[in-house]
Amino acid sequence: MKKRIFITVLACLMLLFAGCQGNPATGGDNSNNQSQVSSYNFTYKETKITLHAPAEPIIKALGDPISYTESASCAFDGLDKSYYYGSFYLETYPKDGKDYVYGWYFKDDSVATEKGISIGATKEAVTKAYGNEGFNGSNAWVLKDGGGTLTIILDKDAVSSIQYAIVVE
């Protein structure tokens, strides 16, 4: 149990501090963000969430979060924001006075990837859904697609962490 908690905390910290590694979105307008959008999506209560997408309409559609935090961005001018919706966290980054989707990570098994993988899924189920591409041979899949990364971490052959984030260059 301690190992699972440690892995989950570590994955969350990696997501939170990834924005400090550099500016993932270059250029002065959202058209550059759109060219970086990956095909990784997540739909929650009929709201499609996409990396690099403008955050305002998504957050409005999702409704009031259970909790909200913000902190000064170390990569952008403005605030990085985190919205907690019970089953997942949604992270945003600021650019040109607007917020964009940085990523999200799952907290429980009530939400799943677009291929049906949720927290607690077996290694066999992940392999069936995603194959061996991106598998490190031990306990994680790191899949990249365009401007996004999907990371799935296992603990004792069961999924303990699922997170999506923009690719930071």
Query: What digits encode the pLDDT tens for the residues 142-166?
Result: 999 878 999 999 999 999 999 999 8
Q: CATH number of the domain that 12 lies in?
A: 2.60.460
Per the structure, the complete domain to which residue 29 belongs is given by: 2-166
Is the pLDDT score of 16 beyond 50? Answer: no
Helix (H), strand (E) at residue 24: none
Tell me how many domains the chain contains. 1
- Report CA dihedral (21, 26, 28, 30) to the nearest 10 degrees: -100
Phi, psi (degrees; rounded to nearest 5) at 132: -100, -5
Coil, strand, or helix at residue 112?
Answer: coil
For position 129, what pLDDT does the model report? 94
Percentage with pLDDT > 70 across the chain: 76
- For position 58, what pLDDT does the model report? 97
- pTM for the whole structure: 0.78
